Amino acid sequence: MEAAGLTGHSSVSSYIVQTLQDSASRTVQQARRTQLDAAESAAFVQSLLAPSAPAPALQAAFACYREQVR
């Protein structure tokens, strides 16, 4: 009750709903990011600067896609 009042909510239920929504939003945000350490960052950036050629399986899938999808 005190926490609801301190955060400007007129009722406990609105406080609970807001808290759950905030928690869900934080969970979604955490699921949508990756934090890399120094070695991982260097490897990631290297792969962006010199991207590999598409894998043979991906090239084959692309050929099928062009035949089967309009």
Partner 1 sequence: MPYRFELLDAARHNRAGFQSAAGALNAYLQQQARKDADRHLAATFVMVDDAAPTVIVGFYTLSNYTVELAELPADLARKLPRYPRLPATLIGRLARDDRFPGTGALLLVDALARAYVQTKVSGSLAVVAEAKDDTALRFYGKHGFVQLGAEPNRVYLAMGTVEQLVRSAG
> Binding to partner 1 by residue 61, rule CB under 8 A?
yes
Binding mask 11-50 for partner 1 (x = CB under 8 A): -----------------x---xxxxxxx-xxx-xxxxxx-
CA 33 – CA 41 distance, rounded (Å): 13
Q: How far is the CB of 27 from partner 1 (least distance, A)?
A: 11
Instruction: Write down the least CB distance from residue 57 to partner 1, Å.
Output: 5
From residue 5, alpha-carbon distances to 2, 10, 22, 49 in Å are: 5, 7, 17, 52
